[in-house]
A and B are shown apart, each in its own frame.
Chain A
Amino acid sequence: MSLIRVENLVKTFSVAERAAGLWGAFKGLAYRRHRTVRALDGVSFTIDPGELVGYIGPNGAGKSTTVKTLSGILVPDSGRCEVLGRTPWKDRIANARDIGVVFGQRTQLWWDLPAIESFDLLRDIYRVPRTDYIATRDQLIERLDLGSFLDVPVRQLSLGQRMRCDLAASLLHRPRLLYLDEPTIGLDAVSKLAVRDFVRSMNRERQLTVILTTHDMDDIEALCNRVMVINEGRILSDGTLEDLRKTVTTERWLTVDLLDETTNISDPDAQVIGRDGARVTLRFDPERIPAAALISRITAQYAVRDLFVENPPIEQIIARIYAEQKR
């Protein structure tokens, strides 16, 4: 049985528009033109228990509208949606007990209180029985290594520490479903790894179902076996990360830092797509030339200080998916 079932969800917002300038402001007093924005335009998907799904798309694509609908905050114009057998907006409070949410941009801890007091408050809010609470809390404190800063007011924590506390806070009531909204935004490398590690282990050990929205492709690569891409309110692609890449492009990027800024690189199997001082970015198709072969050829030919291979950024992939859909 699926945990989440979404069918043909539509949500529109009406946005008031006014012409620019002073005259526009006056005209706005008399009448306003309203423009309808389709935040969700027929979104359908199902998610099974224990899945770890990446939900990606550019800003304004409809990601958080989807998450807000699944949390019961927004009522869609039409369509069906079931989370754990309930319609979220009709049964918001019961639904809220079964889900945990983490926002990278915003803490749900009480700013002036030490994290441990926020945890106690959440116990009261979610009405977790004391023994369960203590067991869960201590486990989370240990797994996330929070012990040394539990008594510090949240406003004094570093972003990485705060994010770890937020993760713990979202799981104290043992939700079956966790929404992560850009959980690694602004974090240093060590904290990012810690967050990913923790999410992965919760997903594997506890069969926690996770929906992750992010702009960091590394998050997706490290965690998700399934990726949904949304843009302008429509799901453009839904499948494994590999499938997603292959449908769009197999290309990879090789970025080379040259010793000499004036050198020009050219290679028969790679194409220069960017140049910034001594840094050159090349595009290549690994099916035509393996990365290792290309690297050895380049390093043999040119004086190279450093180089690395990466995937084209998420925006590029989405842009291409979208361009293909349009055609």
Chain B
Amino acid sequence: MRGYWAIFSARFRTLLQYRAAALAGLGTQIFWGWVRVMVFYAFYQSSLAAQPMTYEQVVSYIWLGQATLLILLVGVDNDIVAMIRSGTVAYEMLRPMDVYSLWYARAAAARVAPVLMRAVPMFILAGLFFGLQPPASFAAGCLWAVATAASVLLASALGTLMTVTMLWTIAGDGIVRITYSAVFIFSGSIIPLPMFPAWMQPLLNFLPFRGMADIPFRLYTGNIPASEGVIVIAHQLAWTIFLVICGRWFIARGARRLVVQGG
């Protein structure tokens, strides 16, 4: 365990060096967050029908999404993809480590580091100026924290699985792009999931993607009551376990068929 933790922390420290990128990203995300808030403001002003979320909940949902966007927006691990392309990926197996866990630790660090750098200033700015409300209750705040941690685990499992698939499709950016479009839409990062048509709700509730954004945000705003917290977090963890098993299975198969370059 200590070795994987060491990998995580080394990667984390490396990524913390990208401060300029974080600052630029912060600016972009505030701008987009503000645009989305305006769209929903117009929508709520003109709509007479009862909506599944209050306007205040939607605003908080949007800002939480902007603050933790990079949990789900980070794609495959480019360093590993480069190693797969050059054939040096085999040398990952020279360490006395489990390769899946090693890559998972890197994937987790790649999500936590940029999010932490952006989330804190984003919370302060959005809370002061842009209408981000505090959590609905103390319990809601705690559940949100747990669900956010679970969303990192889930997104890392998906990211690692995507990276592993690159062992087969060296130029397989396609499958990765499709997956990330699905993540983007079905996690609630564009439109909060409760606003989707009713007939889609069972599907959205089943898919893993809501665990990366929608679940923590709705726990925070109280749109999912704290009493249901355990169930939705279990949903996140169940999908995490499933994706980890898939990733492990693929990597075991992939390692066997590695064509290693060089003599």
Known contacts A13-B259, A96-B94: A117-B10 contact under CB 8 Å: yes
Q: Confirm or deny: B6 has a beta carbon within 8 angstroms of a beta carbon on chain A.
A: yes
Q: Confirm or deny: B23 has a beta carbon within 8 angstroms of a beta carbon on chain A.
A: no
Name which of B62-70, B85-93, B173-181, B237-245 contacts chain A: B85-93
Instruction: Pick from B5, B7, B14, B263: contact of A65, CB below 8 A.
Output: B263
Contact status A71-B2, CB under 8 Å: no
Known contacts A72-B93, A121-B10: A106-B88 contact under CB 8 Å: yes
Known contacts A110-B10, A112-B14: A97-B2 contact under CB 8 Å: no
Q: Confirm or deny: A196 has a beta carbon within 8 angstroms of a beta carbon on chain B.
A: no
Instruction: Pick from B3, B14, B90, B258: contact of A127, CB below 8 A.
Output: B3
Residues 83-109 of B at the A interface (beta carbon under 8 Å): 88, 90-91, 93-98
Contact status A64-B262, CB under 8 Å: yes
How close is A226's CB to chain B, nearest CB, in angstroms?
Answer: 20
Known contacts A61-B263, A68-B260: A73-B95 contact under CB 8 Å: no
Contact status A125-B7, CB under 8 Å: yes
Q: Confirm or deny: B17 has a beta carbon within 8 angstroms of a beta carbon on chain A.
A: yes
Binding site for A on B (CB under 8 A): 2-3, 5-7, 10, 13-14, 17, 88, 90-91, 93-98, 256, 258-260, 262-263
Contact status A93-B98, CB under 8 Å: yes
Q: Return chain B residues, CB-CB under 8 Å to A64.
A: 260, 262-263
Contact status B3-A73, CB under 8 Å: no
- Chain B proximity mask over A48-91: 1 for CB below 8 Å, otherwise 0: 00000000011111111100100111110000000000000000
Known contacts A126-B96, A127-B2: A57-B263 contact under CB 8 Å: yes
Q: Confirm or deny: A124 has a beta carbon within 8 angstroms of a beta carbon on chain B.
A: yes
Known contacts A63-B263, A74-B258, A75-B256: A97-B96 contact under CB 8 Å: yes
Q: Confirm or deny: A113 has a beta carbon within 8 angstroms of a beta carbon on chain B.
A: yes
Closest to A231 in B: B263
Kindly state the separation between the CA atoms of A71 and B258 in the bound complex, as whole angstroms.
14
Contact status A92-B14, CB under 8 Å: no
How close is B8's CB to chain A, nearest CB, in angstroms?
Answer: 11
Contact status B94-A74, CB under 8 Å: no
Q: Confirm or deny: A220 has a beta carbon within 8 angstroms of a beta carbon on chain B.
A: no
Q: Confirm or deny: A101 has a beta carbon within 8 angstroms of a beta carbon on chain B.
A: yes
Contact status B256-A60, CB under 8 Å: no
How close is A152's CB to chain B, nearest CB, in angstroms?
Answer: 15
Contact status B5-A124, CB under 8 Å: yes
Kindly state the separation between the CA atoms of A282 and B262 in the bound complex, as whole angstroms.
34
Q: Return chain A residues, CB-CB under 8 Å to B94.
A: 71, 73, 96, 99, 101, 108
Kindly state the separation between the CA atoms of A73 and B257 in the bound complex, as whole angstroms.
11
Known A61-B263, A73-B258, A113-B13; further 7 A-B contacts with Cβ < 8 A:
A57-B263, A65-B260, A68-B90, A96-B96, A108-B94, A112-B17, A125-B3
Contact status B259-A121, CB under 8 Å: no
Q: Confirm or deny: A116 has a beta carbon within 8 angstroms of a beta carbon on chain B.
A: no
Q: Return chain A residues, CB-CB under 8 Å to B256.
A: 75
Q: Return chain B residues, CB-CB under 8 Å to A39.
A: 263
Instruction: Write 6 A-B pairs (CB below 8 A) sorted by A numbering.
Output: A58-B263, A68-B260, A73-B260, A101-B91, A121-B6, A125-B3
Contact status A73-B263, CB under 8 Å: no
Q: Please indicate which of the listed interface residues A99, A113, A124 has the most CB atoms of chain B within 10 Å of its own CB.
A: A124
Q: Confirm or deny: A103 has a beta carbon within 8 angstroms of a beta carbon on chain B.
A: yes
How close is B40's CB to chain A, nearest CB, in angstroms?
Answer: 41
Kindly state the separation between the CA atoms of A101 and B88 in the bound complex, as whole angstroms.
14
Q: Confirm or deny: A222 has a beta carbon within 8 angstroms of a beta carbon on chain B.
A: no
Contact status A124-B93, CB under 8 Å: no
Kindly state the separation between the CA atoms of A72 and B17 in the bound complex, as whole angstroms.
35
